[in-house]
Chains A and B, each alone.
Chain A
Amino acid sequence: MTSHHRREATSDSETEPSRRLFMKAAAAGVPIAFAGCLGGDDDDGNGNGNGKGNGVGDETEVDTDDSDATYGGEVLWGGSVPVQSLDPHFESAAASARVLENITQGLTRVNWEYEVEGLLAESWETSEDNTELTFNIRQGVQFHDGTELTAEDVYASFNRIEEQQGLAADYMALVDSMEVVDDHTFEMVLSEPFAPMLSRMATSHMHIIPAHQADENEVDEPIGTGPFEFESMELDSEFVMVGFDDYWDDDLPYLDKVTKNEISDDDNRLNTFNAGELDFINGVPPRHAEDLEDDPDIDFIRRFPQSLTYLGLNCNEEPFDDIDARLALDYAIDKQEVMEAALYGQGQVATSPAAPGSEWEHPDLQPRPQDYDLAQEHLEAAGYPDGFEVTFQIPEQYNDQVTAAQVIESQAAQVGIDLNIQLITWSNWLSDVYTDRDFQATTSSYLALWFPDAGFHRPFHSDGAFFFTGWEDEEYNDLVDEARQYYEMDDRAPLYHDAAEILQERRSGHILLYWMPTLMARTHDFQGEVMSPDGSTFRFENTWME
């Protein structure tokens, strides 16, 4: 058995059967003969039959079985968004996180159950009151420069995040003290129980770099403990990483080299792939997905949750300060049609900010159906029997949102809600809509929502890092705050289910539209599960070339 299964064994106690669990079973060697049937158990969640066949909209099969993997070889990857910088603690772009996942590592990582498991920490203990976390650091782990990983490196990395105000500095603010107990024991004392800390440690924002590099202000070429080491990078052109010979897991990686060609143009990238010049591409344009899916020479891969697209309403201003006005718009929108139009049926209609198919997701919650009569009733209750007019600011660079906006506009017009579309640049969106909150209605999306605190706290909690719609609900805030204190999924999940109901029933300032998947295509030569369970980053360690 390969190392992968050892890692699976460290995950927490069994939970109810789920799609994710099924995948784990498949990974453990259960024969796989269910291709295309994976959507079966969550059809009620999003399967408003669109006449396009069963598979569309659900994930393609996750196959983590690497028993027939072969060593050596290079994969040529056509990437959608260029890597700009590589400082794990400061780089927020998803494109950088995608490669950093292979170079640097955290104390924890996410598994296919959306739970955190140990990575550089073999295990951890929590004190009675859940405020003291003691990590047992894995032995025999080498950095790419040959130095050995110790608790000192962990301390130095976290200290850097705190002192230099890295992206995870808000999390470090909850740390009262840190201590290097011995070479392989690291202790962190929190000011209050805070479960999301363990999830955040799995992201590159809290990855571990050697102490001598943590002293530097800028990290251009991170030294990590990952299965691949940074080789070279030419901005907007090429990024190369090579397999690390002394990786602590002796079985991995299989590949010698990963070369990423930066090809930003969607059609260009796809054409280059079709011409046989690449083994693997991400960012497949949704409208070509169906053709690729039907192509027997190509592996088409669809993974959630890359991002969640929503319709944002300003709850501090007329007309959307009135819940009835928000409900009227909600009832006017056919989310399935919006998703079909924007993503050619490749996405999933969103019901809550919890990752689709996870235990964090409310099992029965449904989006409001389109109902013009109810929309009209709510318009009257809001005092706008003839409808109203608002500006609808859309970031122009996201094609799916520009398309979605036009469908929403045409649906809302049916009940007299005039949405005047205004295409704006992303920098204007950030300054006017997000920072100044000078907007009435808008669309945007959130990335990396695999851990529930990211989805429920950042955009919706009044103190959240991305809070901007002005919708405030004390009961909601209390639930999300309370959920942060529980370390076990079984204790936490029900709180998020309740929170999702509040978001829906009290019509928060976000009308959730759809989950956008990561769409990828590859030749049959490139094998193994390349996606990380977070739905956005890649793990090349599990892949090989035939």
Chain B
Amino acid sequence: MSTSRFTLTEERKAHYGRFIRQFRRNQKAMIGLVIIVALFFVAIFAQKITIFDMTIQPFSLTPHEPEATNIQNREESPSLQHLMGTDDLGRDIFSRVLVGARISLYVGFTSISAAMVMGTTIGVVAGYYQGLIDEGLMRAMDAMMSFPPILLALTIVAVLEPSLNNVIIALALVYTPFIARVARSAALSVRNESFVEAAVARGESDTYIIFREVLPNCVGPLLVQASINIAFTMLLEASLSFLGLGVQPPTPSWGLMINQGWAFMGDAPWLVFFPALAIAIAVIGFNLLGDGLRDVLDPKGEIIE
């Protein structure tokens, strides 16, 4: 028993080694990774982080207080003092864009994590049991997917009333079916593998088989799906905030900054330009990573054997 487990880990190690080598060779994936690491750096060090009177992150990248209004300096064009200019309330756009990275990543990761937990559970259960359970769960997912994501998210936020946490809940619900579909198809193919049959023959419980045998072998395609969807959640958060249904002012979400800067497009385009650029960079970063991962983690060939 213990030897077989040991060889399995050895085998997995070899897979991971191969995965890392291929990932490194993939240019798209590496560019995406660099962008995302940079985003994380910005998000973490943008501002001090204080939890329960304890300062976890002691210094701040932002040259100005992102929510401090100063109407004497309103709508100033980019300069050394204000790298990206100031907005209609005299707030430093550079500082707000940096802090906005934190909100975008926070929304993206929390909502996708929640969607992963729900979607994977639903998909793997459906794929493993098949039959009526599969039909019931997947038709429910289909029903949710039949709404355009933005419309579904809008409806959910409108019902729950607009706030950051409700945006996360809405995005998690919207992307659950996408994850569930991928999880199900992966689970379907894994289900017929011999090691699953062996586990069944050993008399293992369903829970054990689903979570210890099936799930670990579905990670590859799920990772690809999650890294692509996270870009969409960030975009959708920006859209919701742009429509006034997301993050509430004065919190500097990129979408909200575009929303509030829209009226000034004519004479102060930097109010819109820089947050829009930030969204574009973040979305491109996650898309490149997702594409690269897909190239590397060719679901059938590599990870799942």
Contacts and interface: CB of A to CB of B under 8 A. Distances in A.
Interface string B81-123: 0000000110000000000000000000000000000000000
Nearest to A411: B69
Contact of B89 (A267, A396, A407, A422): A407
Given A341-B89, A396-B244, A267 B266 contact: yes
A421 B162 CA distance: 11
Please report whether the interface of chain A is mostly helix, strand, loop or mixed according to DSSP: helix
Interface in B242-296: 244, 248-250, 260, 263-264, 266
Nearest to B65: A410
A337 B71 contact: yes
B248 A409 contact: no
Contacts of A111: none
Contact of A421 (B71, B89, B161, B248): B248
B260 to A, nearest CB: 8
Contacts of A407: 69, 71, 89
B67 interface: yes
Contacts of B260: 402
B37 interface: no
A403 interface: yes
A421 B260 CA distance: 14
B8 interface: no
Contact of B71 (A340, A396, A399): A340
Interface in B20-78: 67-69, 71, 74
Q: Select the residue from B67, B71, B244 with max chain A CB neighbours within 10 A.
A: B71
B263 A267 contact: yes
A48 B71 CA distance: 15
Contacts of A337: 71
Contacts of A406: 69, 89, 249-250
B28 to A, nearest CB: 39
A423 interface: yes
Q: How large is the interface on B (under 10, 10 to 19, 20 to 34, 35 or more residues)?
A: 10 to 19
A409 B71 contact: no
Given A337-B71, A340-B71, A399-B263, A423 B248 contact: yes
A420 interface: yes
A403 B250 contact: no
Given A267-B266, A341-B89, A396-B244, A405 B249 contact: yes
B69 A410 contact: yes
B67 A410 contact: yes
B69 A341 contact: yes
Contact of A410 (B244, B248, B250, B266): B250
B244 A420 contact: no
Contacts of B163: 422
Given A406-B89, A407-B89, A422 B162 contact: yes
B144 to A, nearest CB: 26
Interface string B151-176: 00000000001110000000000000
Q: What interface size band does chain A fall in?
A: 20 to 34
A390 B266 CA distance: 36
Contacts of B71: 337, 340-341, 407
Residue picked from A340, A396, A410, most chain B C-beta under 10 Å: A410
A340 B249 CA distance: 19
B250 A409 contact: yes
A284 to B, nearest CB: 14
B162 A403 contact: no
Contacts of A340: 71
Contacts of A266: 263
A406 B257 CA distance: 13
Contacts of B69: 341, 406-407, 410
Contacts of B89: 341, 403, 406-407
Contacts of B74: 341
Interface in A44-90: none
A359 B197 CA distance: 93
B248 A422 contact: yes
Contacts of B162: 422-423
A340 B88 CA distance: 11
Contacts of A285: 263
Interface in B166-215: none
A421 B68 contact: no
Which interface residue of A337, A341, A405 has the most chain B CB atoms within 10 A? Answer: A341
Nearest to B268: A287
A344 to B, nearest CB: 9
A11 B217 CA distance: 91
A410 B68 CA distance: 6
B263 A421 contact: no
Contacts of A399: 263
Contact of B249 (A267, A287, A423): A423
Given A337-B71, A410-B69, A402 B249 contact: yes
Nearest to A406: B250
A410 B64 CA distance: 14
Nearest to B68: A410
A406 B264 CA distance: 17
A423 B243 CA distance: 11
Interface string A301-340: 0000000000000000000000000000000000001001
Nearest to A405: B249
A406 B249 CA distance: 7
Contacts of B161: 422
A405 to B, nearest CB: 7
A421 B246 CA distance: 12
Contact of A420 (B67, B68, B248, B266): B248
A422 to B, nearest CB: 6
A292 to B, nearest CB: 13
Contacts of A420: 248
Nearest to B266: A267
B68 A403 contact: no
Contacts of A405: 249
Contact of A423 (B68, B244, B263, B264): B244
27 contacts: A266-B263, A267-B263, A267-B266, A287-B88, A337-B71, A341-B69, A341-B71, A341-B89, A396-B244, A402-B249, A402-B260, A403-B88, A405-B249, A406-B89, A406-B249, A407-B69, A407-B71, A407-B89, A409-B249, A409-B250, A410-B69, A420-B248, A421-B248, A421-B249, A422-B161, A423-B244, A423-B248
Interface of A: 266-267, 285, 287, 337, 340-341, 396, 399, 402-403, 405-407, 409-410, 420-423
Given A285-B263, A410-B250, 13 more contacts: A267-B263, A287-B88, A341-B74, A396-B244, A402-B260, A406-B249, A407-B71, A409-B250, A421-B248, A421-B250, A422-B162, A422-B248, A423-B244
Interface of B: 67-69, 71, 74, 88-89, 161-163, 244, 248-250, 260, 263-264, 266
